[in-house]
Structure 1
Amino acid sequence: MNNFWVTVAHTAGKRIRTKAFIWSTAVIAVLIIGLMNITTVIDMFGGEDGETEKSTIAVVYDTTTADVAELLSSYEEGEFSYVAYPDSDLAAAKQATEEGEFTYVLGLTGDPSQIEAEFFSEGTDFTVGETVRMDVQRMKETIVTNELGLNEEELAMIYNPIVFNERALTNEGNIETEESHMQSYFMVYGLVFVIYMVILLFGSMIATEVATEKSSRVMELIISSVNPITQMFGKIIGIGLAGVLNMAMLVLAAYVGYLISGETYLETILQDMLEGSLLGYALILIVLGYLLYGGVAAMLGALVSRAEEVNQAIQPLVFVAMIALFISITGLNVPDATFIKVLSYVPFFTPQLLFLRIGMTSVPTWEIIVILTVLVLSVIVMNLLAARIYKGGVLMYGKFSFKNGIKQALRLGKRER
């Protein structure tokens, strides 16, 4: 047991002390702080003070739409500044806009009850036209209601929204609102991607660590004093601890960036968006997924003789992780689909797909227990198999071959018992 903790400490310490670890963590931390204060940074280098000047819109109108144009010109609460074009000449207004006098042109025709509007712009932002349409609609409603002679009480009766409550059909049922759906959507999307990155990056680190020691012949000295199986699990835990430290530093950087920004959205996220149970499931699935993929990565790293062959060796593992991610992204829109439910039982897909189902749908407790049990058993079986192959693989040298390498490693592992 002492050798195990020595291996864990050596692996974690070696990884943490490397220049690549220190510099990558520092650079990413600075980027996180910078991105969280991007508005301040832009303002600092932009040299712009005060409020941004509103874009101007030339309003070309006829006698029947003069009232609408007048209301638009006096509308100061909107995003744009409307200017009534005096000559009512659409071609002249467009020419003036091309010369930089205005930003856009709005042409109004028809009677107030049936206004036709033509909006001329570069068309690079669809929200501009939508905002202008809503402004014109608002002015039209004001004029029409005034012509009908409706008082404030009558207008309130028209625009007063209905009281609409949605209830669960049964006592055990849950009602998902649009707000809660979007909160779950983005939280699940983010954490699914985190699971993918943890599994892939740390798994690659394990394989590279093992292959590097083999290629430098350090492995031959290590296995003479430390049992290969103890060494394998020590490396998995050691790199995992280094990864935890790396993530903790990035979270700390994010918190520092949040404090510098002076924003208050963290309280809203913690109170309204993050669910403790969902974070608990995420932690469990990240750990189990890391142990599953990490064991396979260590096994694959032991089968190669040179660090340059690691990428080739772990390609199947990378493809599996990528497939799981793509299925998860697709499943965000159809979390109840049968193929999502079925594939969530597959151990290599479970960390992402089960988390997706828990976050986006109601999964029975018994089913969660069954799937997690399958995943735990798979982690144990896969790591026992990986340990046997690792035990023989660290003694092998030569050209990498996946099929023949596993057979030879198993034979060597049996001899070393």
Structure 2
Amino acid sequence: MSKFWIVFFHTYLNKLKSKSFIITTVIMCVASLVLTNINHIVDLFNGDDKVKVGVIDESGELLAPYQAQLKKINPDIQLIKATDEKKAQKKVTDETWKGYMIVSLNDQGLPQGGYRSESMADMDVPTDLEQGLQQLKTTIASSKVGLTAEQSQLLYTPVSFDKKALDKGAKTEDELNQARVLVYILLFIIYISVITYGSMIATEVATEKSSRVMEILISSVSPVTQMFGKILGIALLSLTQFVLLFLVAGFSMFQNNREALDAIDIQGMSASILVYGVVFFLLGYLLFATMAAFLGSLVSRTEDVQQAIMPIMILIVAAFVIAVQGLGTPEATFIKVTSFIPFFTPMIMFLRVGLLTIPVWEVMIGMAILVVTIIALALFGARVYRGGVLMYDKHSFFKGIKKAVQLTKNQ
């Protein structure tokens, strides 16, 4: 056990003091500060400038009511009267105006219009302009058929539609929205951590192997001890980095972005979701980290690490895509089935736990499948690891595993 702690702390402290870890952590902390204050940054660049849009009113009577209608939708859009289309085009080209509109009355005496701008990349402004013109058309059409303003309002008032789950234990719509936020955050954390730290584990193994230090280590420390010492050492490193990020992001949101912090509302969430999130995160990390360790042992150069761990990347990307799809349809049969496939379980089963009320035995089976898979991978990985670290020639994926296992048997 003492050798395990030596490997564990050596891996942790060596990576903790590395320039790459320090620089990466600083960059991630700065990025978290930017993301948690993005609304203030956008406002800083935008200032209080209005979005100016020229309007060529061919009817001579639509501009004023159109502006009044548009203020209810987007008060930042300012309509400016224009009379000549060529001059309006020049204003847009000179970036004085965002664009310009041509509005008129059709044969029925109802508004119609068109929008012109340098490009159609900005969808928000034309959408708001169209919505405002549509509402103006509705108002004019209602008055033409003799409806009062109150009657028109009554006509377009949304229908009352109550939604209630029959299952007493089912989550309310507000609870589901809160759960979706937390589930998405934790899914993203699992995704990023596996890709980042799985690659780090594989690179660590390949680096020691390329320096021939591995040949000395493998003769004095068992492969299982060495492999899990590295895995858990980098796990502690990732935890250190995440704690720093959460402290920086949490403090920034608390000081400058309370709205986003209230939207997450961790205090209002079920403690079981947070517990399950931690459990599935740790199991998922151990699963993919174990794979990364023995796959990293198959290459002799750090340049080949990314290619070696490509199967892990494919699996974790597939799991993330399925999980994101499942945020809208967590009860789908496909989601339920994939939640019991071990490489997808950490994300998909947690998704179901967070959004649905599922039997505890299903969650326990998912965890048991993960534990059994991790143990099986650890046992098989140890055999591959012990032989793989002594291989220095290039092999295909399956051929490399086969040769590593044979080398282990011959030792």
Give the structure-2-normalised TM-score. 0.83
Conservation of the 8 A alpha-carbon contact between 2:218 and 2:386 = no
Correspondence for 1:115 among 107, 110, 115: 110
Q: Structure 1 200/156 Cα, relative in aligned 2: closer, same or farther at 3 Å?
A: closer
Q: CA 1:392–1:132 in structure 2 vs 1: closer, same or farther (change >3 Å)?
A: closer
Structure 1 gaps, min length 5: 86-91
CA pair 189-142 structure 1, distance change in 2 beyond 3 A:
same
State the Cα RMSD in Å: 3.3
Residue 297 of structure 2: SS of its match in structure 1?
helix
Q: For 1:125-162, what per-residue CA distance to the aligned partner results, in whole angstroms no more than 9, with x for missing partners?
A: 3333332233334445556667848486x677556655
CA contact (8 A) 2:203 2:296 kept: yes
Kept after mapping to 1: 8 A contact 2:58/2:103: yes
Query: Which of 78, 86, 90 does residue 95 from structure 1 map onto?
Result: 86
Q: Does 1:58 align with 2:60?
A: no
Q: Does 1:410 align with 2:405?
A: yes
| Residues 1:223 and 2:218 aligned together | yes
Which residue matches 2:202? 207
CA contact (8 A) 2:37 2:257 kept: no
Residues matched between the structures, number: 400
Q: Map 1:11-410 onto structure 2 (within 5 A).
A: 11-41=11-41, 46=45, 51-62=48-59, 66=61, 68-72=62-66, 78-83=75-80, 92-100=83-91, 103-110=99-106, 115-122=110-117, 123-139=120-136, 148=146, 150=148, 162-174=159-171, 177=173, 183-259=178-254, 261=256, 263-271=258-266, 275-410=270-405
- Report the CA distance shift for 1:107/1:239 in structure 2 as closer, same or farther (over 3 A): same
DSSP-derived class of the 1:55 partner: strand
2:9 pairs with 1:9:
yes
The superposition leaves residues 239-294 of structure 1 with CA deviations (integer Å, 9 ceiling, x where unpaired) of 11111111222222222432553544313322588554333222211211111111
Q: Could you tell me how far 1:174 is from its partner in structure 2? A: 4.7
State the match for 1:88 in structure 2. Answer: none
Task: Give the unaligned 5+ runs of structure 2.
Answer: none
Distance 1:149 1:166, change over 3 A: closer
CA–CA separation in structure 2 for the residues paired with 1:59 and 1:242:
62
Larger Rg over CA atoms: 1
Letter in 1 for 2:127: E
- Asked if the contact 2:52/2:80 (under 8 Å) is kept, the reply is no
Kept in 2, the 8 Å contact 1:206–1:239? The answer is yes
Q: Distance in 2 between matches of 1:243 and 1:398?
A: 32
Q: What are the superposed Cα offsets for residues 283-330 of structure 1, whole Å, 9 maximum, x if unpaired?
A: 211211111111122222223333333333323233322332333344
Taking structure 1 as the reference length, the TM-score comes to 0.82
Match of 2:16, SS state, is helix
Say if 1:118 and 1:157 are closer, same or farther in 2 by CA, change over 3 A.
closer
CA distance in 1 between partners of 2:65 and 2:267 (Å)? 40
SS at match of 1:131: helix
